[in-house]
């Protein structure tokens, strides 16, 4: 075996020299997990969003198998995923693949001689970790989109029904004389903003007042000509991506919504000097969980399918911009997709739009046949 070097996460850097553990197996396992976490931190992976969930999954698998990594075999991981599917038949393929990738990465780390774990395990336990995930026992990637089939863009009528339901909830709370009308009004305005700019939940919650931008090409929109998104989805190991989302004419109704929120609704929360655009009754920043709850409440009131979620509004935004005949590159930049193929996955244009597009192309190619037609 190769001699271990001083790489972050190496066994000799996380295991104390000369210490005799009364229970060596869990001590080595914990050191192994800490070493893997260190190795990921040096790659600038996100602690909360990436490292902790991965470490937690490895612990979960170890508890299920009742074995340590140097004892694992492919049979254990196959039984683990069979158990997951049995307990949750709706487990998404993409989620299962993420689990498998995390376990594969851990095994790659544990079996890499440069980190010293194979030698450490061999010396202490007479066994070494092996890779337990292979092409023949992992999910094959056969489709660009592997999300829930029920998640789709909302139609124009469904978007309107959702917003009507959110607005009606405000009036219902006021009519009953109950608390919460102000929060319900904020939620309705926030949902409309998510759709009008195609925002992800964390992007919307992360907006500050300073992120409201003027667009010199659209002076009529005033301070709401664009939104500067600073908390876009990050690539692995990278910081959150930034982009400017322009207010499009078809969504310019959001200017009045935001004007009312800034001038009347937000001050009523008494946020003092808090920078957040969307604030809570406790003068803090609204959370992604609260935003999800606002959507679910409006969805149920509107009688829309359970499969729809907040992210469906982003799908709707992409689809509707395409139907408004915006170039695909413009739509891609608006929503912050690195690849056009990702934007295409989000798009679910209606039959009406496709028929109009077909009719327009036919008219352009056969102009002589269309002359004089109504």
Calpha distance 240→234 (Å, rounded):
4
Tell me which of 314, 315, 317, 320 is the catalytic residue. 314
What is the predicted pLDDT for the residue at 365?
Answer: 62
Question: Residue 364 above 70 pLDDT?
Answer: no
Tell me which of 109, 115, 221, 346 is the catalytic residue. 346
pLDDT digits 0-9 by tens, 232-286: 887 666 678 899 999 999 999 999 999 999 999 999 999 999 999 999 999 999 9
**Cα 184 to the center of its chain, rounded Å:** 24
| Active-site residue flag, 337 | yes
* Mean pLDDT value across the chain: 87
**Cα 320 to the center of its chain, rounded Å:** 21
- Contact, 34 vs 115, CB < 8 A? no
Q: In the beta sheet, which residues pair with residue 208?
A: 276
| Active-site residue flag, 223 | no
Calpha distance 276→78 (Å, rounded):
46
pLDDT digits 0-9 by tens, 174-200: 998 888 999 999 999 999 999 999 999
Name the band, by pLDDT with cuts 50, 70 and 90, for residue 1: very low
| Active-site residue flag, 317 | no
pLDDT digits 0-9 by tens, 262-277: 999 999 999 999 999 9
| 262: DSSP letter | I
pLDDT digits 0-9 by tens, 92-148: 888 898 999 999 999 999 999 999 999 999 999 999 999 999 988 887 654 444 455
- Contact, 113 vs 8, CB < 8 A? no
What is the predicted pLDDT for the residue at 240?
Answer: 82
Name the band, by pLDDT with cuts 50, 70 and 90, for residue 89: confident
What is the predicted pLDDT for the residue at 359?
Answer: 65
Tell me which of 85, 134, 214, 233 is the catalytic residue. 233
Calpha distance 29→240 (Å, rounded):
32
| Active-site residue flag, 314 | yes
Tell me which of 54, 231, 320, 337 is the catalytic residue. 337
Tell me which of 192, 200, 285, 299 is the catalytic residue. 200
Fold for domain 156-363? hpI Integrase; Chain A (1.10.443)
Residues with Cβ within 8 Å of residue 368, at least 6 apart in sequence: none
- Contact, 217 vs 233, CB < 8 A? no
Calpha distance 60→211 (Å, rounded):
40
Percentage of the chain modeled with pLDDT above 70: 83
CA atoms within 13 A on the CB side of 302: 24
Tell me which of 311, 326, 353, 356 is the catalytic residue. 311
What is the predicted pLDDT for the residue at 338?
Answer: 76
> Could you state, in order of their start, the residue ranges of all structural domains in the chain?
11-137, 156-363
Specify the pTM: 0.65
Q: If you average pLDDT over residues 359-363, what whole number do you get?
A: 61
What is the predicted pLDDT for the residue at 195?
Answer: 97
- Contact, 93 vs 139, CB < 8 A? yes
């Amino acid at each position: 075996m190769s001699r271990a070097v001083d790489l972050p996460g190496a066994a000799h850097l996380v295991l104390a020299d000369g210490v005799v553990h009364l229970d060596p197996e869990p001590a080595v396992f914990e050191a192994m997990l800490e070493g893997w976490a260190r190795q990921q931190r040096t790659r600038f992976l996100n602690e909360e969003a990436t490292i902790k969930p991965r470490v937690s999954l490895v612990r979960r698998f170890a508890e299920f198998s009742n074995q340590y990594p140097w004892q694992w075999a492919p049979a254990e991981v196959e039984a683990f995923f069979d158990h997951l599917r049995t307990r949750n038949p709706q487990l998404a393929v993409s989620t299962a693949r993420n689990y498998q990738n995390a376990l594969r990465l851990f095994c790659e780390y544990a079996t890499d001689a440069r980190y010293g774990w194979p030698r450490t395990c061999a010396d202490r336990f007479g066994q070494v970790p092996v890779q337990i995930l292979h092409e023949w026992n992992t999910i094959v990637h056969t489709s660009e989109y592997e999300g829930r089939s029920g998640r789709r863009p909302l139609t124009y009528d469904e978007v309107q029904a959702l917003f009507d339901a959110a607005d009606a909830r405000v009036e219902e709370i006021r009519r009953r004389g109950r608390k919460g009308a102000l929060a319900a009004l904020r939620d309705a305005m926030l949902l409309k903003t998510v759709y009008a700019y195609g925002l992800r939940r964390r992007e919307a919650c992360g907006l500050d007042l300073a992120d409201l931008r003027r667009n010199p090409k659209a002076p009529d929109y005033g301070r709401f000509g664009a939104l500067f998104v600073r908390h876009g989805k990050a690539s692995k190991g990278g910081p959150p991506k930034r982009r400017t989302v322009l207010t499009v004419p078809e969504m310019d109704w959001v200017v009045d919504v935001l004007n009312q929120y800034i001038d009347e609704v937000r001050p009523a929360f008494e946020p003092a000097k808090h920078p957040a655009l969307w604030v809570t009754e406790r003068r803090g920043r609204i959370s992604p969980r609260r935003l999800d709850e606002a959507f679910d409440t409006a969805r149920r009131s509107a009688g829309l399918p359970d499969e729809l979620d907040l992210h469906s509004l982003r799908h709707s935004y992409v689809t509707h911009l395409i139907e408004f005949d915006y170039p695909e590159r413009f739509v891609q930049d608006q929503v912050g997709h690195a690849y056009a193929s990702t934007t295409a996955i989000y798009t679910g244009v209606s039959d009406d739009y496709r028929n109009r597009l077909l009719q327009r192309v036919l008219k352009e190619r056969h102009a002589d046949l269309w002359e004089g037609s109504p």
